[in-house]
């Protein structure tokens, strides 16, 4: 832990990310204040992706393919309304990020690309359902922590961590800005950083995307339930109760990062991610059991 904190404190990428994350926080707050007819404007993911790419460009000379591919993922998920068509829409952009960004070997590229596309599509769907609570903003920061504890080379991940910390306050304790389709770009960037930092270990990329945690499993459970769910109610029930959703996400992130993300191969990592995805889906399907308020008396 001491070494981690020392590396974090000496990381230029972290401090630049923290500064740009603070600027993104201010921009998000200003937009939400000015655009009062659209509560929780869906721009948080875009703010995160833009600030992160700037840091990566300055500190590490990020390939243009990552910038263009991330933007293409956003456009792709915006074309769909369901999980399958959002995933198909995100695939071309994910391919550009991972393949042309040299973030995976040829043998593992197809599996990693599909995983990144699923991550972007499912996280977008999650945020659409939870837009009113804006809970996706703190959950994204939790997922970045999962990335940090998955990869052996943390320098690029420090940049993402720095950007994500101030943006927590766009979603908690008061819902100001939701992630929106820009979270698809965040998934692409997470996949690229994990692929490079994992030193050729595809399992690290799978584990990093699986660290999207509740944002991956909940959309499946919500569709199975076909009714209002308890997680949506909890997320909208105020800052203290919404922390229950954050805690659930944290458990899923920890499991995916420390169990699946430490595998060498992509397929073992996927297999070990499935229990956490399944748990997220089961929790996402839990019904809202609140009793409806009694009807007013006619007398």
- Over the chain (299 residues), what is each successive 10-residue block's mean pLDDT? 85 97 98 90 97 96 94 96 96 95 82 94 96 97 95 92 98 97 97 81 88 96 88 94 96 94 88 95 88 51
Q: Which residue has the tokens 């998934």?
A: 187
Instruction: Read off the tokens for 78.
Output: 């915006």
Please state, in angstroms and rounded to a whole number, the distance separating the CA atoms of residues 187 and 70: 8
Angle between helices 182-197 and 44-60 (to 10 degrees): 30
> What local confidence, expressed as pLDDT, does residue 201 receive?
78
Let me know: does 144 contact 160? Beta carbons within 8 Å.
yes
pLDDT in tens, 11-48: 999 999 999 999 999 999 999 999 888 899 999 999 99
Q: For residue 260, what is the DSSP state? A: I
- For residue 198, what pLDDT is reported? 65
d(CA 106, CA 120): 21
Q: What's the confidence (pLDDT) of residue 200? A: 66
In three-state secondary structure terms, 42 is: strand
Q: What pLDDT does residue 50 have?
A: 97
Q: Please say whether the beta carbons of 85 and 79 come within 8 A.
A: yes
Nearest-angstrom CA–CA distance, 199 and 204: 9
Give the predicted TM-score (pTM) of the model: 0.93
């Amino acid at each position: 832990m001491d070494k981690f904190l020392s590396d974090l404190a000496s990381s230029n990428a972290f401090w630049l990310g923290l500064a740009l994350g603070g600027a993104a926080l201010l921009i998000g707050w200003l937009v939400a204040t000015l655009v009062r007819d659209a509560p929780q404007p869906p721009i948080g993911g875009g703010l995160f992706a833009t600030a992160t790419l700037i840091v990566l460009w300055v500190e590490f000379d990020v390939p243009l393919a990552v910038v263009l591919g991330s933007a293409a993922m956003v456009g792709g998920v915006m074309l769909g309304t369901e999980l399958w068509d959002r995933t198909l829409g995100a695939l071309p952009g994910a391919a550009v990020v991972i393949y042309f960004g040299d973030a995976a070997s040829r043998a593992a590229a197809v599996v990693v690309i599909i995983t990144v596309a699923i991550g972007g599509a499912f996280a977008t769907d999650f945020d659409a359902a939870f837009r009113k609570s804006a809970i996706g903003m703190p959950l994204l920061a939790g997922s970045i922590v999962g990335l940090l504890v998955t990869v052996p080379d943390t320098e690029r991940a420090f940049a993402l961590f720095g950007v994500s910390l101030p943006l927590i306050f766009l979603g908690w304790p008061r819902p100001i800005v939701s992630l929106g389709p820009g979270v698809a770009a965040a998934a692409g960037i997470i996949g690229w950083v994990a692929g490079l930092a994992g030193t050729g270990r595809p399992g690290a990329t799978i584990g990093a995307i699986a660290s999207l945690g509740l944002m991956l499993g909940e959309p499946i459970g919500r569709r199975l339930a076909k009714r209002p769910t308890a997680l949506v109610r909890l997320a909208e029930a105020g800052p203290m109760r919404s922390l229950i959703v954050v805690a659930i996400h944290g458990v899923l992130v920890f499991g995916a990062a420390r169990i699946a993300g430490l595998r060498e191969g992509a397929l073992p990592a996927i297999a070990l991610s499935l229990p956490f995805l399944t748990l997220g889906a089961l929790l996402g399907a839990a019904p809202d059991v609140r009793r409806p308020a009694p009807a007013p008396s006619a007398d």
